[in-house]
Structure 1
Amino acid sequence: MMETLYQILGLIAAGLIVWLLYRSIKGRPDQFSRENLSKSFTTMGFLGLILIGFIAFLVFMLRHS
């Protein structure tokens, strides 16, 4: 019984998220321009490299403690 309720709530939440995304994209179509996406991917790549380096540092510290 509760499982069905959770599935229904999940579907409603997913529908709400899709609707909100659709509305925001319709309101500002320029946010997905080529240069904005390029800036975003550059930033995410840089943050990803920092995160990988930080995790490698933590693993190194754990092995030598």
Structure 2
Amino acid sequence: MSQLLQRRIRRTTFLSALPQGCRVWIQVLPRASVAGYVKIGIEFQQKGDTSGTTVTFNVSDR
């Protein structure tokens, strides 16, 4: 399978998993972000590296 096709499949899979409504995003995104950074932090600790990853998060609900 070509790399381009693999990227398209991953992108399609990712986009299909995204919540459709703004309210759902507001509820889900903070928890998902924290879970992702915790997972990455644990993986880097196991490797003995530092990730140097930071996040700035802003939710504006009008």
User: Could you tell me the TM-score, scaled by structure 2's length?
Assistant: 0.44
Larger Cα-atom Rg: 1
Higher share in helix: 1
The TM-score with structure 1 as length reference comes to: 0.42
